[in-house]
Structure 1
Amino acid sequence: MRKNIITTLFSVLFLFTIVSGAFASPRNVLVEYITGTWCGNCPCGHQTVNTITSANPNTIILAYHAFGTDPFRNFNGNEIVNLLGLVSTPTSVIDRNVFIGTLSYPLWISGVENRYSSSPDSPVDIVITSKSFNDLTNELTVNVNATALDNLTGQYKINAVIVEDNLIYQQNFYSQCGTPGIVSNYEHDHVTRNMVNGAAGENLNTGNNWSMNQTISKGFQTTIDASWIPDNCRIVLFVYKEGSTLRTSEIQQAIQEAVTGTTGITSNNSGQVSGYELSQNYPNPFNPTTNIKFSIPEDGNVSFKIVDISGKEVENYVNGFLQRGSYNVEFDGSSFASGIYFYELKTDNFTDRKKMMLLK
């Protein structure tokens, strides 16, 4: 009897803690680094960020091309290179919390790992509430909600950045990074194309306080340049707390999403996928957002949807062709009632279903 009473009290206290406070948001570390097509050391940096994203798929990368005759160096907001003090290539800064000098590639990896282990949760949640892309005008419109998950003090800002992957252009190599010389058909990823609201972004909160559970809405509109391929572009959004310099203005959270396609699902195809997998959502229980990761080892038709406890479909994220790779779905339960929901992944060769709980 005494054991049952203690168990019941623990359960009540656990639920009270969940319902009375905001949920933590799993951190997505942002790595910003300087690179160049002319730079022979830079392929080592590219290889390092691929290692990082393979081990930590939710890590977000911004590559700032700079100096020389690099054709990707001229982008709106390129003063970010000087503001972050990135004066040699390749140099990185991790969440604007750790600065790592040139050629110290193992420290990039350990810096990211340490950030996840020492600060696994973010005090800010960012959700894309709507997104539209006009195929005729190349105009992208994105609406975002940023929510404080704790009582925060200071000035918080948000940046919106367009990046492009799979850019084929030459790259210089030094021997430590591969066969020395110029590679003419090198693939450049994470290339920063446009810092939509400038290098410093714009204010979120007013005054010096951002109250727990307070949501601030922002809208961004930009045009994807005709020379860019929209299907290769992503929008990256990140929130940082303003410090004495931009390099010490710690990033609180970052998210990314494809410019085209369904809102709420992003891909990370930099690593090898060995089999089908549907992971348990995190956090769980959650309020209002949670992340669900899945992997498919071959191209094909894929269905991913969310249903309520009665079996009624509440969200359909994809029902069509997907390339092999790893994907992340961010489910926003803001407009749904508390309760049990199920998410389901189906392909021609695989089916799996898991349960999650929304508690408001």
Structure 2
Amino acid sequence: MCINVYKIILLVCMCCVGIFWISCSGNSDDSEQTEVILSVDKNTLTADGKDIITFTVMHAGIDVTADAIIRSVMDGQTLDGNTFSTSKAGTYAFEASYGKYVSKLITVVAKSTSGTVSNFVRRICAMEFTGTWCAMCPAGMTRLNYLISSSYEGIVYLMSFHVDGTSADPMTIEQSSILSRKFAISGYPSCVVDMRGTMGLSENYSVMRAIFNESLEKYPAHCGVAISSVYNEVDSEAKVTVKVTSEKTADYRLVLYVVENGLKYQQNDGGNYRDYTHNHVVRKLLSASVEGDKLGQIAEDKEEVKEYTVALDDTWKAENLSFYALVMDENGYVNNLAVCEAINGNADYEYVND
């Protein structure tokens, strides 16, 4: 009789373990199915008000388009249905939400009827001017990071130029002051977009969006940029190769910067100094000047290649470094850019239809 009792107890325990295992496995599978995926039937359309693109929203392998919300992150407007058309040429970004889940951004390009919109994905350069002494700078950076991550992820690339102020900033470089004077920066924090327009970081989000959108809509790319780095750990050196292909015959200049994440310094935050992790910090200019190295005239559909050998400073951490290649047009504005990691990073040309 006792043996039977023990057998029953053992059987119950085994069943409980089995149920627990199944339950845990079920939870794991469920968590893997929570992603919302937004897709589009084509990445380009003609900006004639008639051509349309159609979105599909999937969740856990099920088409939930009819119950999802599709939103243009450029202006915050929700689509009426799952199609989009426009008569205004430019790059547009969208995201979808279903319940509490939000998809990753996808971008589409509306080409003008004259065919002037680029086949290359357009990237925007945001130069933030800041300092460890600046009490309002952490709040400004938080606002800028939120705007980029929520509406311009993978579109806007941030660079932080540190300047001296009421006290010295340990991350300042000479070019920060040169650019600050060039753009007549009078208050901190401030941001310069594509080396063209300046905006304060306490502006209303709609004002900041309008400046980013202006770059996408009024100043389309007419070149593509690719960048790669081959890192030699023994010599603490990187060979950086930048390629530029133009869609029209035009003059270009190239500006190359070293940018580092994860720098820890005290920061004035609302009047109180505290430990702070600084990201996107510009560490060095690799070109001859902030105006860039001359690439000369690049003919239509031709490629220009420029190489740099970069000796990494002992104070830098190679695993936290990236190279930013900004390609300037004949007016001195950033037409397009590419970014790669210092340790064997590679960012090839990115096309709208990829």
TM range (shorter): 0.5 to 0.7
Q: Structure 1 CA distance, aligned partners of 2:328 and 2:214?
A: 19
Q: Does 1:67 align with 2:164?
A: yes
Larger Rg: 2
1:49 aligned partner: 144
What is the aligned counterpart of 2:293 among 193, 202, 212? Answer: 202
Q: Does 1:256 align with 2:347?
A: no
1:40 CA displacement: 0.6
2:249 aligned partner: 151
Q: Check 1:43–1:133 CA distance in 2 against 1; reply closer, same or farther (3 A cut).
A: same
Q: Structure 1 CA distance, aligned partners of 2:208 and 2:117?
A: 32
Q: Check 1:151–1:22 CA distance in 2 against 1; reply closer, same or farther (3 A cut).
A: farther
What is the aligned counterpart of 1:165 among 261, 264, 268? Answer: 261
What is the aligned counterpart of 1:100 among 179, 199, 210? Answer: 199
Q: Check 1:262–1:91 CA distance in 2 against 1; reply closer, same or farther (3 A cut).
A: closer
- Deviation sequence 1:294-327 (CA, Å, 0-9, x none): xxxxxxxxxxxxxxxxxxxxxxxxxxxxxxxxxx
- Deviation sequence 1:26-81 (CA, Å, 0-9, x none): 11000112100100111122112212331212211111100231101135675232
Paired amino acid for 2:255? N
1:308 aligned partner: none
With normalisation by structure 1, the TM-score equals 0.59
Q: Judging by fraction of residues, say which structure has more strand.
A: 1
1:216 CA displacement: 1.0
SS in 1 for 2:143: helix
- Matched residue count: 233
Q: Does 1:283 align with 2:352?
A: yes
- Could you tell me whether the CA contact under 8 Å between 1:48 and 1:108 is conserved in 2? no
1:140 aligned partner: 238
1:262 CA displacement: 4.0
1:143 CA displacement: 1.2
Q: Does 1:80 align with 2:168?
A: no
- Could you tell me whether the CA contact under 8 Å between 2:222 and 2:248 is conserved in 1? yes
1:276 aligned partner: none
1:238 aligned partner: 326
Q: CA RMSD in A?
A: 2.5
Report sequence identity in percent.
Answer: 21
Q: Structure 1 CA distance, aligned partners of 2:296 and 2:277?
A: 39
Paired amino acid for 2:273? I
With normalisation by structure 2, the TM-score equals 0.60
SS in 1 for 2:296: coil
Q: Check 1:205–1:43 CA distance in 2 against 1; reply closer, same or farther (3 A cut).
A: same
Q: Unaligned 5+ residue runs, structure 2?
A: 1-114
Q: Following TM superposition, where does structure 1 have runs of at least 4 consecutive aligned residues deviating by more than 4 angstroms?
A: 20-23, 75-78
- Could you tell me whether the CA contact under 8 Å between 2:143 and 2:201 is conserved in 1? no
- Could you tell me whether the CA contact under 8 Å between 1:88 and 1:102 is conserved in 2? no
1:220 aligned partner: 308
What is the aligned counterpart of 1:27 among 122, 126, 139? Answer: 122
Q: Structure 2 CA distance, aligned partners of 1:87 and 1:222?
A: 33
1:156 CA displacement: 1.8
- Deviation sequence 1:150-174 (CA, Å, 0-9, x none): 233xx42100000101111111112
Q: Structure 2 CA distance, aligned partners of 1:91 and 1:73?
A: 15
Q: Structure 2 CA distance, aligned partners of 1:216 and 1:23?
A: 18
1:37 aligned partner: 132
Q: Structure 2 CA distance, aligned partners of 1:30 and 1:168?
A: 24
